[in-house]
Amino acid sequence: MGNQTKSPFLERIREAIRVRHYSIRTERTYIEWTRRFILFHGKRHPEEMGETEVAAFLTHLAVNRDVAASTQNQAMNALVFVYKHVLGRPLGDVVGAVRAKRPARLPVVLSQDEVRRVLAELRGAPWLIACLQYGSGLRLMESMRLRVKDLEFEHRAVMVRDGKGGKDRVVTLADALVEPLQRHLAARRNLFEQDSAQGFGTVHLPHALARKYPNADCSWGWQYVFPSSRLSRDPRSGVIRRHHLDESVVQKAVARSVRKCGIEKPASCHTLRHSFATHLLERGADIRTVQEQLGHADVRTTQIYTHVIQRGGRAVLSPLAAVL
């Protein structure tokens, strides 16, 4: 998204978002879509506009910009938020908007041999994160946001907090990842202690936890499992500290690995999650169990993976061990 103009109205949106504890990504996205909406209508104020102008903007995105359905929905969500929570005037039916078509595509899935080759080319944190995506079905940002306390080695579980839709869930932790993760955390602990000694040992806490647990932001358990290589200034509080690793680091590493392996499929980090679901079904896992592991709200979303295999079963055994 582009630069965000400092305007009183956009600041009102920012305040409304922060009061509701939305993520910094959502904040930036909603403000940028509002800015585009205003510019599209010749810098008219949203108070002067309504459903007709929203429909025209959404149609423009679908027809002239040829955006994906998910992108158009993102813009719609931003404007629904602005009109409801900032202007106090909820949008009615947006009649007449041309909706972007959602293509009926099957997910790209790698074979176990292809997963093995891709993982073999990765090193360090990208390797661990890719293994969590394939071994536990985590989304990329779920991996990025993992805290030390979320790893339950004894129970072979990963606690996913505030996942998509604001939901928590528990997923399986592959036996093959226990020792690599423990070694990683030992090195991570050293980095944390160095940061703490230099006065940079605090970490961002979600929602109001900083007030509820005053010392949690400097505790080991709340630290990110996969930290950034450098300190940065928090865009909201201004505090200098170590945030989590940027997802682009892993995305680029996986893309390089796929190219190096000569795999022609349009594979990405998310492909590892698709492969996790498909291979679980191949190993006999029940579709409801796979749904829970993936964090899908509707089992119909999970059913897309049955194009590969249609077998029943109950045990949840991570497929990671078969490729390491």
First to last CA, the chain: 39
| Catalytic site includes residue 6 | no
Rounded to two decimals, what is the model's pTM?
Answer: 0.78
Catalytic residue among 14, 36, 117, 139: 139
| Catalytic site includes residue 167 | no
- For residue 224, the cross-strand partners are 147
| Catalytic site includes residue 296 | yes
DSSP state of 82: I
In this prediction, residue 211 carries a pLDDT of: 73
User: Do the bridges between strand 169-172 and strand 240-241 make them parallel or antiparallel, or are there none, so unpaired?
Assistant: unpaired
Between the alpha carbon of residue 12 and those of residues 46, 79, 252, the distances in Å are 13, 14, 36
Assigned token pair, 73: 């929905």
In this prediction, residue 182 carries a pLDDT of: 97
Structural domain boundaries of the chain? 8-86, 112-322
Model confidence at 231, in pLDDT bands (50, 70, 90)? very high
Catalytic residue among 164, 169, 243, 256: 164
Q: Report whether 319 contacts 279 (CB < 8 A).
A: yes
Among 1.20.1260.10, 2.60.40.1930, 3.30.1280.10, 1.10.150.130, what is the CATH number of 8-86? Answer: 1.10.150.130
d(CA 52, CA 264): 45
d(CA 313, CA 299): 16
| Catalytic site includes residue 44 | no
> For 168-222, how does the pLDDT look when each residue is reduced to its tens digit (9 = 90+)?
899 999 999 999 999 999 999 999 999 999 999 999 887 667 677 778 889 999 9
> For 103-144, how does the pLDDT look when each residue is reduced to its tens digit (9 = 90+)?
667 788 999 999 999 999 999 999 999 999 999 999 999 999
The domain 112-322 having CATH identifier 3.40.50.720: the answer here is: no
| Catalytic site includes residue 224 | no
DSSP alpha helices (H): ranges in 64-174? 69-81, 112-120, 124-136, 140-144
